[in-house]
Chain A
């Protein structure tokens, strides 16, 4: 009986997760029509998840987007502090975490001066290390 309960819990979790993935794949099929976000103006490759990036950019105008590469961001539960820390910053209008690629996307107003050292401190306060910064202006 106990084994049945244990197995049921696992199967329920797996089905829930699979449902989420199928939904993401459907969105990906639509996300690239007319949208190319592969290369920055300076020629650097933009290593972000296309679907997450499109969703993040939706509705943003007159903004700057900081794309921060982060080392050690290996689980959702440990990345929660990053989101909470940046949300306390009034200059930040939106934030998202891309676990698969180890990126944090942060939107600022167009007049904000983005300070990589400040970003590094905030990431380190969560126990991870920011290693690179790319900035998009839209």
Chain B
């Protein structure tokens, strides 16, 4: 892929795809905080970028982490110091509700950063979530939001393979459009894999290992 300067005129489709990719990264972090003392390693790859994100949770209330991104569109390597904080959690016998604050600062400088919130509510059968994020950088600030919902077609026991069928919708101020697409999520033991597909962004694969 040819090198593209950061301030170059970006074709509309390039902007669209990049926004879609960023949206994928946000929505796939369904569990941004681990248990106390737990670590999580995430890997995401598609035709747009490669990303590796590691976070550690000193408490179940927050996580700190670093993310390395190989941006295929702008041909840039970026790294972020990230913080996620659990603002609120409600546990019941059959459900859990969460509200998170998320933020990140790039090694490129304080001007390149993001913050936002995202929340979810889930039972063993149903999941709904939403998110809102403000992104600031030296080439284009933007806002994005999403909603997603899903269901488990069967209820597996502890240790089984678990499957979720998801539907996601997102909006980005750069494109102004809502995009809706399906995704499948699988997890077994400490491994989680999520596969999303959009006809314009092609496949997006996200892997997670918790330890």
Chain A residues with CB under 8 Å of chain B are 2, 6, 9-10, 13-14, 16-18, 20-21, 24, 52, 69, 71-72, 74-82, 84-85, 96-100, 102, 124-129, 131
Contacts and interface: CB of A to CB of B under 8 A. Distances in A.
Contacts, number: 116
29 contacts: A2-B197, A10-B165, A14-B153, A14-B154, A14-B163, A18-B154, A71-B92, A71-B93, A72-B91, A74-B124, A76-B158, A76-B189, A77-B31, A77-B162, A78-B31, A79-B158, A80-B35, A81-B38, A84-B35, A84-B38, A85-B36, A99-B157, A100-B157, A125-B35, A125-B59, A127-B33, A127-B35, A127-B60, A131-B93
A126 B65 CA distance: 18
Nearest to B36: A125
Interface of B: 31, 33-38, 59-60, 86, 89, 91-96, 122-124, 153-163, 165, 182, 184, 186-190, 192, 195, 197, 202-203, 210
Contacts of B157: 20, 24, 52, 99-100
B197 A10 contact: no
Contacts of A82: 35
A14 B87 CA distance: 35
B160 A76 contact: yes
Interface centre among A52, A74, A79 (most CB of B within 10 A): A74
